[in-house]
Chains A and B, each alone.
Chain A
């Protein structure tokens, strides 16, 4: 299921793949062009997505991926660090499931986190794998610096190299894992019969 709007499916050659074994991946993104602007306070806003100049959401877009029980991620054995296989029907769902998967490493009970604190994210990267790494790195940074863990996400804009999102979560007294960094180790978003899949390795 997609958030509202006309969505189109594009075959995007995987840009910037370093290795020779790179495989193309299918990404979904919205067809219309989309502009964001910085206001005087340095916050981004996007009139097309219902954000006013104060950075407030005027009309909150439907939240498509917030059924935590449906999150598709699993831990993969890794000798020294932690790794997750994450799946999604499209790039947006993959990003949300990856975020929830990482949160499950940080706290024992995702349902126990409040959703009182809201943060906005504007992530840009070299390619979609980079977008996944930068997105998770941003969330890991907030966990380390503020003990803030997110459980719900509204994706306002998903492009292969750009993400605008709102996350809701809560402060936790203790983290059960320290994510030092999100790595690019063998990272490739690949197409499967069900959608997209990637294995992300975290340095802990």
Chain B
């Protein structure tokens, strides 16, 4: 176990576990925290998991974790690990089972006062129109071969089917489509799991949330995004559903054998990996991109359902019920990117598992509308608490391979959360504070209680204090829809 005596403080919010901590570490491990978040991180196995990632072949500079770090499987949640190409590895467990799980932020032309009289109906419409919960299928019927087009085209498929606008795609990371996705590397079982789930939320921590913009911190950037105080916005949090889960399972299984072929020794079998230059590595990359495209298409179809719900409830009651996209980001991904290390530019495979890309201004990967302000970063809080809109920085490029936090981060197990609060009681508390709640399961609601999470405001203070993101706006919830 890592304890506080093993840590070296590298800055106000940066701690390092030196390479000498364990013989098999190839690089040091660093993480971002203040004293309270540090105490939390020392309580579970997250730092031990971070140390494990520092043993991966080809790992560059240091293994990193964000302040929302918590115990996962293989990688800690909040982990960022870059491996140097051509022979650096790619690890399916380093991306996670919910490939390209992410967040989308939509904004309305409406103030809270205009929506408030209809909020009850709106929450019910969102719950009815956006399928959620375990095993719930979507309403989108796919023609033969259409799933493969989703896997290779992502949100572009949705545009062709009328579920998206050009502007949605422009304001999505990667334009909503990763080049090089290969449907042929995705198993039949994965396709079976995914074919009926397009446009669904799923369960767990996934949600749709109607928010009010509560505070603006950077007027110019907020204006560029189209955000203003009092405005109603919508967040969507979901991923690649059963298809992504199966892709990860398939390749974790396949790589159990492959690591022996490549002579890779690992401290945890969930970290299995293959050189990105190998056929195994390339196949996984093609399949991961396909699952990521599915996730982009999935959030796009959920967006269509959200727009439909606003239209159903508000069309005859307000002057403009339309929703426009601010941005869509993934926070479970591996991407081949170029970064500067010790004065040289190198190609890296950057794994972000529960971490968000946060490129600073000027990068060609950013859409034209945001190129001079940096990548928008969407940080949802726990249910009933604030969420944040940030932008990436040059310091993130220099320190964290252009990465920052992805959320509040769990602090309490699901079973303990359920023992601490009843779902029905939580629902009453949220409704008493003016938040409409629609949930398929009271037990599921209790698992996601705010008490089970870290304080998202504190997490954001750390990343902004460390300079790896800057604040743009803070949102507070007025309705929550969960599976």
Contacts and interface: CB of A to CB of B under 8 A. Distances in A.
A114 interface: no
B269 A18 contact: yes
A144 B134 contact: yes
B251 to A, nearest CB: 11
Report the contact-size class of chain A (Cβ under 8 Å from the partner): 35 or more
B260 interface: yes
Contact of A79 (B97, B272, B411): B411
A146 B414 CA distance: 25
Given A184-B269, A184-B270, A16 B257 contact: yes
A203 B242 CA distance: 12
A80 B72 contact: yes
A204 B270 CA distance: 16
Contacts of B252: 183-184
B270 A185 contact: yes
A127 B96 CA distance: 22
A52 interface: no
B413 A77 contact: yes
Contacts of B415: 75, 77, 82
Nearest to A202: B73
B265 A203 contact: no
Interface in B58-115: 70-74, 77, 93, 96-98
B193 A185 contact: no
Nearest to A201: B73
B417 to A, nearest CB: 10
A19 B266 contact: yes
Contacts of A78: 71, 413
Nearest to B266: A18
Interface in A98-146: 125-127, 129-130, 133-134, 137, 141, 143-145
Contact of A80 (B77, B264, B265): B77
Nearest to A175: B134
Given A144-B193, A176-B441, A180-B245, A80 B71 contact: yes
Given A81-B72, A130-B256, A176-B441, 19 more contacts: A18-B259, A19-B266, A19-B269, A77-B416, A80-B70, A80-B71, A130-B253, A137-B249, A144-B193, A144-B242, A145-B242, A178-B203, A180-B97, A181-B245, A183-B74, A183-B97, A184-B93, A185-B268, A203-B245
9 contacts: A77-B413, A79-B44, A80-B77, A81-B414, A127-B256, A145-B193, A180-B97, A181-B249, A185-B93
User: Ordered nearest first, which 5 A-B pairs have the shortest CB separation?
Assistant: A185-B73, A184-B269, A178-B134, A185-B270, A79-B71
